[in-house]
Structure 1
């Protein structure tokens, strides 16, 4: 059995369930994680987890565990592993997800190091064409970069048609994402202040925590939306699914941050579609690739709260179409974003890195 060495700067933030799935679903390989920091180990149990205190230790530990190929999760992890990769001559793929392709290299003066990585690394994966274009713009050879959509566990999400019965008047909207600028929660609040003037029977639950919390609280009070908004904070994955199950509409107002941070393809949109929720979101980064515009989702222009308000009003005023949108979204995710299919594709990529040695 071949050994894949997974490189992370931290194992594992609670928001990076998709990284965990990439590691554990490939049971045809012995998976060993090398990391500088360990968190949430009980949430993400794994057989082989190695903490690296100093960068110089990585080469020795890769040799000790007889690693055959490297999978670096995010660009900074790849830079961390690059010297060891060169020393040992181990093939490496790097999966970029969003901030590491646009924000990180420019804020941290890492563009030249990335260009060296593009020369030395064998393969680079991105969750969307938008992130692929970011790598190409920094000089990544086109023949080295591919789009590899993230998958979700379809069976974890119970599909249910969304309806609004005669007794139920409040339309429940949910948004899931860290409280950071690129998630656009501040724009969603602005949009809902416009919506409220025409349709006031709604309630929004925002799931997530982050540095924008107090700013959002202040904005909610300023816009007099405190009766319509609930900031739920960080929830366990099972609790998030429960919130999704109770909602009528999912909305994510993603936007490019002032510091250049951007989305890849938000997993929350895939999970919401798998649950049967109609989607309202923005034409930002990989989001148009993760939905079927006009069939599973209505998309607004990025950074335009007025347009977002109009799209929300359009969806809210047509509950008879929610089932149609939800059904189309579930089918789209099952066909194109199934974690089992993604694991098979990643398995084949590993074998390709190993020269198709399947022993």
Structure 2
């Protein structure tokens, strides 16, 4: 059985369900999977999603540990032993050490650690910032598997995390990697501008498990209160305050509307203060973080999904917006700002509306359209379900990945 190694910064990171979905894809396609991570997160058993348990992912984890002795003498003796053990790769070892400005015993330990993965079909890295040292090992001819790197958004905006600068940071990856993937044309364009060759890049959106996200209840024949919802960590880029602004505008006009916000983050206190300032305590509910099951349940109790994300102080934008797809899969039309790659997750005036960034008045008008014309809400609801099923369902994307993995194998 061919194997794929997924390299992930930390696991299980319970909020990054799209990474678990990618791993599930490989398993579904018949690959043996291992998960390589720098940090194993201790998580209460009761909080681990069933999909992680279903595929026994916790028993597929390998922690990135080079097993370097703390004792200096033992460290040197083991280093000599590794030189002898890896003597057939001595040219690659010299080349690898030559890639660094200073000599360190660590480099050989690192190279030896990654030797165990040379029988794999591919190593699929999540986040560009997580590719090191695979790009260098590929450059010196030591790494045998195909190297795939999937970017997710923050990993293209320099300085990344406030300290990683673009001084040729991805040159080795773009020169020696086998495949780069991005979830939207927006993110793909950012990667190309960093120097990625066109032929190396493929656009593959993050998919939705439509067997999990589906309409449990019909939006038809509900009460006269229009229920809005948004899901995501409470951070500036998600634009929750603009959702509150929309509710303020609608309530002032005497429109019966409620907003539910699911998520936790640094903006909670600011949002609480804004809700209080606008006297919207009866109209806006902050529910905090919820499980995937709880999110699905809440989506199916609401009518319209909002994602009014904006550019953050450090230039970050939403690269795709998985939550808009999950909402549509549950039958909710979506209204979004034209920011980043979010607009690629819906079909304008068919499954939702795309509004100018920061224009809460335009969003308010679109919400009112659903109130004035309930038939449009119902039609868009049906359209949204079909749109996601035909373009973003995990089943559709599994077939795309089947082709990609096979092509890399044949290459």
Shared fold by TM > 0.5?
yes
The Cα of 1:80 is off from its aligned counterpart by 4.9
Say whether the 8 Å CA contact 2:328–2:381 is kept in structure 1.
Answer: yes
Q: Which moved more, 1:254-263 or 1:313-322?
A: 313-322
- 2:169 counterpart residue number: 113
Q: Is the 8 A contact 2:4 2:26 kept in 1?
A: no
Q: Matches of 1:107 and 1:307 in 2, distance apart? A: 34
Alpha-carbon separation, structure 1, partners of 2:292 and 2:14: 9
Q: Deviations over 1:141-194 (max 9, x none)?
A: 1111111011111111232431244xx232211101111111110111122212
In 2, Cα distance between equivalents of 1:104 and 1:332: 36
Give the TM-score, by structure 1 length.
0.92
Match of residue 10 from structure 1: 10
With 251-260 and 60-69 compared, the bigger mean Cα shift is at 60-69
The size of the alignment, in residue pairs, is 354
Partner in structure 2 of residue 24 of structure 1 = 24
Larger radius of gyration: 2
Q: Tell me the distance in 1 between the aligned counterparts of 2:159 and 2:342.
A: 20
The separation in 1 between residues aligned to 2:270 and 2:205, in whole angstroms, is 33
Q: 1:238 aligns with which of 290, 293, 298?
A: 293
Work out whether 1:60 is the aligned partner of 2:112. yes
Q: In structure 2, which of residues 23, 33, 36 is the aligned counterpart of residue 34 of structure 1?
A: 36
2:252 aligned counterpart, secondary structure: coil
1:73 maps to which residue? 126
**Structure 1 residue runs of 4 or more that deviate by more than 6 Å after TM superposition:** none
Once the two structures are TM-superposed, the CA of residue 122 in structure 1 deviates from its matched residue by 1.6
Q: Alignment partner for residue 155 of structure 2, among 75, 100, 107?
A: 100
SS for the counterpart of 1:285 is coil
Tell me if 1:156 matches 2:156: no
3-state SS of 1:299 partner: strand
What CA distance in whole angstroms lies between the structure 2 residues aligned with 1:199 and 1:103?
45
TM-score, with normalisation over the residues of structure 2?
Answer: 0.81
Distance in 1 (alpha carbons) for counterparts of 2:274 and 2:171: 41
Rounded to whole Å, the distance in 2 between the matches of 1:240 and 1:103 is 33
- For the residues of structure 1 that align with 2:230 and 2:151, how far apart are their CA atoms? 24
Cα distance change, pair 320–221 in 1 and its aligned pair in 2 (3 A): same
- Assess if the C-alpha contact under 8 Å between 1:125 and 1:146 holds in 2: yes
Q: Does 1:133 align with 2:151?
A: no
CA distance in 2, matches of 1:276, 1:102: 33
In structure 1, what is the equivalent of residue 335 of structure 2?
280
- Would the alpha carbon gap of residues 121 and 164 (structure 1) be closer, same or farther in structure 2, given more than 3 Å must change? same
Considering Cα pairs closer than 8 Å and 6+ residues apart, tell me whether 1 or 2 has the greater RCO. 1
TM-superposed deviation, 1:91: 2.0
Contact 2:134 2:143 in 1 (8 A): no
Residue of structure 2 equivalent to 1:352: 407
| SS class of match (2:271) | helix
The range that moved more, 300-309 or 142-151, is: 300-309
The 2-side partners of 1:270 and 1:355 are apart by 33
The question of whether the paired residues in 2 share the 8 Å contact of 1:3 and 1:30 is answered with: yes
| From 235, 239, 262, the counterpart of 1:207 | 262
Question: How far apart, CA to CA, are the structure 2 residues paired with 1:106 and 1:22?
Answer: 24
Q: How far is the alpha carbon of 1:50 from its aligned partner?
A: 0.7
SS of corresponding position for 2:132: helix
What is the alpha-carbon distance in structure 1 between the residues aligned to residue 5 and residue 199 of structure 2?
A: 23
Which runs of no fewer than 5 residues in structure 1 stay unpaired?
none
Give the root-mean-square deviation of aligned CA atoms. Answer: 2.1
- In the TM superposition, 1:180-219 aligns within 5 A as 180-219=235-274
Q: Structure 1 residues 109 and 62, CA, compared in 2 at 3 Å: closer, same or farther?
A: closer
User: Displacement of 1:84 after TM fit?
Assistant: 4.0
SS of 1:94 mapped into structure 2 = strand
User: What is the distance in 2 between the residues matched to 1:2 and 1:58?
Assistant: 24
Q: Distance in 2 between matches of 1:52 and 1:20?
A: 19
